[in-house]
Amino acid sequence: MYLEHFGLTEPPFRITPVTVFFFSGANRGEILDALIYSISEVEGIIKVSGEVGSGKTMLCRMLLEKLPKHIETIYLANPSLSREEMLYAIADGLGLSIEGQRVGIIMQNIQNKLEEKAREGKRIVVLVDEAHAMPPDTLEELRLLYNLQVGNAKLLQIVLFGQPELNAKLDQPNMRQLKDRIAHHFHMQPLSRGILENYLMFRMRAAGYHGPNIFSSAAIKLIAAASNGLMRRVNILADKSLLAAFVEDTHNIEARHVQAAMRDSELKTTPVLPGKKMLWASTAAVSLLLALLAAWWILDKPPMSLRHNEGTPLPLATQSAAPPMATQAMIALPNNMPASIPAIVPRQPLAPPTVAVAISPPTPIAMSSDPASKKSSLFEQRLAAGKLLLEQKKAIASIQLFYNEEVNPTRIEGFLKRANALGKLSEIYLLPARFGGKNGLRILYGAYPSIEAAHRAVKELPARYQEAFATSTYIF
């Protein structure tokens, strides 16, 4: 109805997962890349959790598209399968005809087929959507399937996508054997208010819009409060706000349009979901896997082509020579290490983060003789400071506040002036980066001697930064 009014070629805020609308901000792109690496190179069951409407199904669909060709997928969209129905579904995905056979025979046929695939150099992964609704007996059967192996290699990889209730289900005593085999857990963060504007305009542009930003700051604030940062709710409110603006014959989305959408959707402003305290562990897992991903690329693994749409921020790739999936953590191999030996080859599951008691505040690394102070603009100062940070090689990690796919000194200058007013300018570093073949910038906060120190420092960020940015750990 409003497509022609806004110059759109298709509805931008459909709630049906369409991969052309995949948004890689708010840790989605990082999780996607880490999942591809984990499935390709690491053993262990993988779990992805997130609230209703946080984008789990969209991520699953993206994974189906982006996995390498030697990895074959079996997608289980219906979680309420019995044990036997699940085995039939997997057998059907493998191209087996086993109608009427006993469970034991089905299992044997599946194992034989998986061994045949392994000899062909292929890897099989089962993607389970809405896994929180899967019966315990079916989950246990999945565990038994995961145990199948030939020699030292597992024949099957499993990824569970589910709501937080999946965590509660796995905490039950009868699920402990399955839980122990989960090597990696990723949590889907809600969209922060600062990311929300990027998300809204990314969807608009993916649908053919070419004009300026149409969402006012008051409208974005209302959408953020009413949606709790959950993509499905954001899409519903944004869609109805566009309709309200169309009825008014205006092209700007104001607070009154969002309020009309909220009334129509029966949504009210609610407190923001308290997820930050538990999300740092997931961020740490992503950062560690991304570090492994860097080593993987350095060791001349075949590249995987990932397509990122216009306006989609790429969370990875710090050097111009890096391929599209190159991670933000670039790891150098020692000079005396043979090329055939990887710098990092962790085959065991990553240990879960532990809760430290009486941790002293992280100490940033002091940078000596900053030449950037002589530059004529704040932008040039902090760009020189970022260069010095890399040259001195004292820091291990930093906190990435955000990143731009283009170099826009005027826009960054405004941010730096506000940082200066906060007394935090000396903590800001600008690093050049490449995003999908374009020159861009990473905006970092602080320089820390370890990844753990950077994780702890997130809690000490200025309140407005914690509210505005979906931060991640940047590893030098």
Q: What is the pLDDT of residues 102-138, one digit of tens each?
A: 888 888 999 999 999 999 989 999 999 999 999 999 9
The whole-chain average pLDDT of the chain stands at 79
CATH of the structural domain 3-19+191-265, one choice from 1.10.3720.10, 1.10.8.60, 1.20.120.1200, 1.10.10.350: 1.10.8.60
Give the C-alpha separation, 422 to 415, whole Å: 11
Cα radius of gyration rounded to whole Å, the chain: 24
Q: What is the pLDDT of residue 291?
A: 53
Each residue of 372-400: b (16+ CB within 10 Å) or e?
Answer: beeeeebbebbbbbbbbbeeeeebbbbbb
Give the C-alpha separation, 38 to 153, whole Å: 14
Q: What is the pLDDT of residue 292?
A: 52
Q: Residue 88's closest CA among 112, 110, 71, 116? A: 110
Over residues 339-357, the mean pLDDT reads 39
- Is residue 142 over pLDDT 50? yes
Q: Residue 446's closest CA among 467, 474, 470? A: 474
Which of 56-65, 308-317, 362-371, 428-437 is predicted with the least confidence, judged by mean pLDDT? 308-317
The structure tokens listed for 77 are 């969209």
pTM of the model: 0.58
Over residues 312-335, the mean pLDDT reads 35
Name the segment(s) of the chain with CATH classification 1.10.8.60.
Answer: 3-19+191-265
Residues 6+ positions from 266 with CB-CB distance below 8 Å = none
Q: What is the tens place of the pLDDT at every residue in 147-201?
A: 888 887 889 999 999 999 999 999 999 999 999 999 888 888 899 888 999 999 9
Q: What is the pLDDT of residue 396?
A: 84
Q: What is the pLDDT of residue 189?
A: 86
CATH topology of domain 356-476: Alpha-Beta Plaits (3.30.70)
Q: What is the pLDDT of residue 306?
A: 35
Q: What is the tens place of the pLDDT at every residue in 386-398?
A: 999 888 888 888 9
Instruction: Compare 386 and 355 and report the one with higher pLDDT.
Output: 386
Indicate the pairing of strand 153-154 with strand 149-150: antiparallel
Name the segment(s) of the chain with CATH classification 3.30.70.
Answer: 356-476
Give the C-alpha separation, 185 to 46, whole Å: 6
Q: What is the tens place of the pLDDT at every residue in 43-57?
A: 789 999 999 999 999
Instruction: Compare 390 and 324 and report the one with higher pLDDT.
Output: 390
The architecture (CATH level 2) of 27-187 comes to: 3-Layer(aba) Sandwich (3.40)
Q: What is the pLDDT of residue 293?
A: 52
pLDDT bucket at 362, cuts 50 / 70 / 90 = low
